[in-house]
Structure formats: C-alpha cells, structure tokens
Structure 1
C-alpha cells in the first residue's frame, strides 16, 4: 500500500517538474527578450542591422514619415518648424534650467545685447545645461540659427 503511494507521488512529482520546466523556458525566453540589447554600435562603412526594439520604436513614432533620422538633415523647414521639431520649447517655453523663456523680453534683453552671433554660438556649441544644438546633432548650424531667429522674433 505504501509502495503504491510512493510510486504515485513520484509520478506526480515528475509531472509537476516537467510542467515547471516548460514554464521556466517561457519565463527564460521572456527574460532574454527584455534584456536583449536595444542597439548596436556600427562604424562608418559597415552595414548594420536595426534591432527589433529600434524597428518597433520607429513604427510607433509620432513624428511624420519625412522626419529626419539621426544623421540626416531637416532641410526645407522654417525657424518655427525647426523650433518645434528640435523640441527647443521643452526648455525654452517655461524657462527650465536657466533657458530664456520664449517671448520673455527681460530674459532675452541681456542675451540680445551680446548680438545674434553670440546667441548662435551658444545654441550651436551649448551653454550651461543646454547641450550643443540642444541635443539635436542631426540639425545643421543653419537650421539651429533659424530656430534661434524664430525665438528672437517671438521677443520682438
């Protein structure tokens, strides 16, 4: 009698172990997918494949299809469109981290007194908490100047 119980218990244990192993494989695959790299480093001249995460991000991106990819230029846009596309307003709309708020005469007066060339240089090379080109390295210097000109026009 005890032998049948022990044998039945061993069979049940084997069944549960097999089921646990199947669940473990699914969990392992899900974990491996979550920990997969989101990008790769490619050097000029190499052909690189986009990762699954990059492809999914580009498919769900809210930017229009003609939006510039990193490394491309957003040519043909006016200063206001460049201001919006480069997300300048993220800091300049509210004056975050010392950024002069767009349209704030007092905040821009001292900066304008230094001249537009100084403003262009600050925007292109970065100043304080603002990274060079506001972090949009795919924009040309002329495009950054156009965005600055738009912000200046909002002050006047």
Structure 2
C-alpha cells in the first residue's frame, strides 16, 4: 500500500523575476544559507551547483545524508527532484511562471511511503517543515499583492 502525504505546498506571486529566483536555486551556497537544517550537497560526479536532469548525489539534512536525483530541470522555469529517505521518498517540484516583473512561484513536496507509522510521523512534521521552508522562500522576495 503506497501512502502519499502532501508535506509542503507554497503558491504565491512574489516580487522577484525567475532569473533572480534561479540565481538562488542554482547556487548550493545560497540554498545552504536559507534552509537552516540543510548542511551540504555532494554530487556523484564531483563539483558543485549541478542542475541538470539525471544529476545524482546526496544532500545532508539534519546531520544525515540522503540520496537525491534531479528528475527534471528547465532553466529559470522548473526543478524536480526525488530524495530517498529510510522511511520513503520525498518528491519536490519548484515551478516558476513569469508575471511581468514578478513570478508565480509554486513549491510542493510530497512524501510517499508504504509504512502507516512513517506516514503518521511525517504528518506531525508538517508544521515545522512549513515554517522552515516558508522562511527560506520569504528571503527570495516579498509576496506580491
């Protein structure tokens, strides 16, 4: 039985253009400065700032390393990646639509697991995840009204 939990969702117009947003998304150091428990990226082929479909590596979050793979990348438009956890898989999608001098930014993360216990534990994490990632998004630009 595959259980799916929407862990995080953000959808707003913000006062930043897609190129400004992707300057952050494409820069490992910028992401590390904005997501508090994220401490590093390691790419399978070495180097840093790899953003292309099929890129594999790991990310270090909350003192643990997790295998990750970019499943889709369109420059200044969309980034999708999967992160393997011991308890399931996180699928994250970042989508940006230009709107004049702003952007419509959508970020979603879903947790898939076969374990009802893991599902229940991740339900409890939603408020903390929401706060952490909302704080990271706010640093990109203010929400447009």
Which TM-score tier does this pair reach, normalised by the shorter chain? under 0.3
TM-score (norm 1): 0.24
Q: Which has the larger radius of gyration?
A: 1
TM-score (norm 2): 0.25
Q: Where is the strand percentage greater, Structure 1 or Structure 2?
A: 2
Q: Where is the helix percentage greater, Structure 1 or Structure 2?
A: 1
Which structure exhibits the higher relative contact order, with contacts defined as CA atoms closer than 8 Å and separated by 6 or more residues?
A: 2
